[in-house]
A and B are shown apart, each in its own frame.
Chain A
Amino acid sequence: MRDRTEGPLLRVEGLEKRYGARLGCGGVSFDLWPGEVMGIVGESGSGKTTLLNCLAGQLAPDGGRVLYDMGEGMVDTVTLDEPARRRLKRSDWAFVHQHAHEGLRMNVSAGGNVGERLMGMGARRYGAIRAQAVDWLGRVEIAADRVDDRPSAFSGGMRQRLQIARNLVTGPRLVFMDEPTGGLDVSVQARLLDLLRGLVREMGLSAIIVTHDLAVVRLLADRLMVMQGGRVVEAGLTDQVLDDPQHGYTQLLVSSVLQV
């Protein structure tokens, strides 16, 4: 790995998105450092998914900057031209959707799904692509003999793991995740979280995870932002925020979960 500049990987400054008169999210600023996992929590409608989509270039914000370390200094990805942004999205960045079918090609085999990013970046040796796909299926605990099956034949948990393999195969530096465990059974969730934690550590990934589930952030996130009504109401180290919440809304969130 080449040396990085001694700075954050991602710097967000005054990000804002409006839907007509309504605020989607506003006044959001933070730094994300290499290898760091940031959790964004809040109830539905709090603006966390809007924020994630703005950060990941899926939505155009109305104000603010999203600076990313492209190797030669920080570049504002909001004003970046579309070719460069799309290149970034399929190489250095990854996006894990809540619903696996949004992030997978359902009519393409598991191997083809994992191989697409490799081929998109120029891989032209079938054997090598397939070997790498099989290797990645193993890393997300999918048996090698499922490599030619389509995701439509997979269970929900398997689809989600396949989506993760498809995203991580090119070794991205920054992963955006939108409720990665949403809609899965509790036992399946635990296995997925375990797997994600292992991969994040092992690959030294930076990640931004949006969730309404505090158990997810406690397990995965180094730092936490709590959102309400489109604004960040509290931010800090995960343990600190969860164990000693300062803001009334955070206290409410934490207590409602802990009582369950």
Chain B
Amino acid sequence: MSAYNFAYLDEQTKRMIRRALLKALAVPGYQVPFASREMPMPYGWGTGGVQVSAAVLVPEDVLKVIDQGADDTTNAVSIRRFFQKVAGVAVSEATAQATVIQTRHRIPERALEEGQILVYQVPIPEPLRFLEPSEIETRKMHALEEYGLMHVKLYEDISRHGEIATSYAYPVKVEGRYVMDPSPIPKFDNPKLSMAAIQLFGAGREQRIYALPPWTEVVSLDFEDYPFEAARAPHACDLCGAGDSYLDEVITDDAGGRMFVCSDTDFCGERRAAGHVGRLGESA
């Protein structure tokens, strides 16, 4: 693929994206507009994440790509292959070995470390979008810190359902300033948003980049008397027996049979390799 620059994007575009990334890291949670390029994959399929990854990748990097927590989902495979082709970087499924992890909808179970970068694919970066459709108005609301409306939404949830009925893309407040959409990760992952690794968020179609530097204070919005709760299915993984991981529900037959397995395939595999066995698993 000598027709393309390292990691597909030309160096000038990468510089433009890196400037946006630096600004985003300097103002955590603030959505920085950037001139998103048209990528060879469709909008909504991770073009924002791919551009951010392309801008931060160096030849020595080890890349991991996950979708729904798994390395083997089709879109993760497609994006990983893209970078193998246009950047020739090493790839790995092991969370611990990766230096750059691009993800859609999950944060890996294993705690990330300093030196790692987690890149999120973001469909709708604006947490206020479904309360206020106008971009002109929402930018003003962020600028003036007018977030009352966000709590009106949570208030309405509780009055109608008895609890906050938002289970993913759960809004957070960053360093006491910007309200941010953590991308559609399940709210189970929200407590991990304060971490040692750098977190970069890219929204290609919406032309926005935002970021969380290591150990940024990230608070899930709630009420004092209805505190935020991270939720997961009340089961253990049927393959590795983990009782603290996020689970996928798999329907196994048409008679209501189902099993629960770790959504993070690397985490589950490592546990099984280490001898942990779940209800339906076999020891390795």
Contact = CB atoms under 8 A, between A and B. Distances in A.
A129 B222 CA distance: 13
B155 A129 contact: yes
B17 to A, nearest CB: 30
Interface centre among B146, B148, B160, B225 (most CB of A within 10 A): B148
A115 interface: yes
Interface in B87-106: none
Interface stretch (A28-36, A45-53, A82-90): A82-90
Contacts of B226: 126
A119 B152 contact: yes
Interface string B130-161: 00000000000001101111011001101110
Contacts of A130: 155, 159
Interface residues of A, number: 24
B104 to A, nearest CB: 31
B166 to A, nearest CB: 15
Contacts of A87: 144
B223 to A, nearest CB: 4
A124 B226 CA distance: 9
A117 B148 contact: yes
Contacts of A124: 151, 222-224
Contacts of A112: 152, 155-156, 159
Interface residues of B, number: 18
A87 B224 CA distance: 24
A112 B155 CA distance: 7
A63 interface: no
Given A117-B148, A129-B155, A148 B160 contact: yes
Given A111-B159, A126-B223, A148-B159, A86 B144 contact: yes
Contact of B155 (A86, A90, A115): A115
A248 interface: no
Most A C-beta atoms less than 10 A away, residue of B143, B155, B158, B223: B155
A224 B264 CA distance: 71
A119 B148 contact: yes
Interface class of chain B by DSSP: helix
Nearest to A122: B148
A83 B144 contact: yes
A109 B222 CA distance: 18
Contacts of A126: 155, 158, 223-226
A200 interface: no
A119 B224 contact: no
Nearest to B223: A126
Interface in A121-160: 121, 124-127, 129-130, 147-148
Contact of B152 (A83, A86, A116): A116
Given A108-B152, A148-B159, A82 B144 contact: yes
A236 interface: no
B148 A108 contact: no
Interface in A72-111: 82-83, 86-87, 90, 105, 108-109, 111
Given A86-B144, A119-B148, A120-B148, A108 B225 contact: no
Contacts of A121: 148
A158 B189 CA distance: 43
Contact of A127 (B144, B151, B152, B225): B225
A112 B144 CA distance: 21
Nearest to A110: B159
Interface of A: 82-83, 86-87, 90, 105, 108-109, 111-112, 115-117, 119-121, 124-127, 129-130, 147-148
Given A105-B152, A147-B159, 8 more contacts: A82-B144, A90-B146, A116-B152, A120-B149, A120-B151, A126-B158, A129-B155, A148-B159
Q: In the A-B complex, list the 6 residue pairs whose CB atoms are closest, starting with the nearest.
A: A120-B148, A119-B151, A126-B223, A125-B224, A119-B148, A83-B144
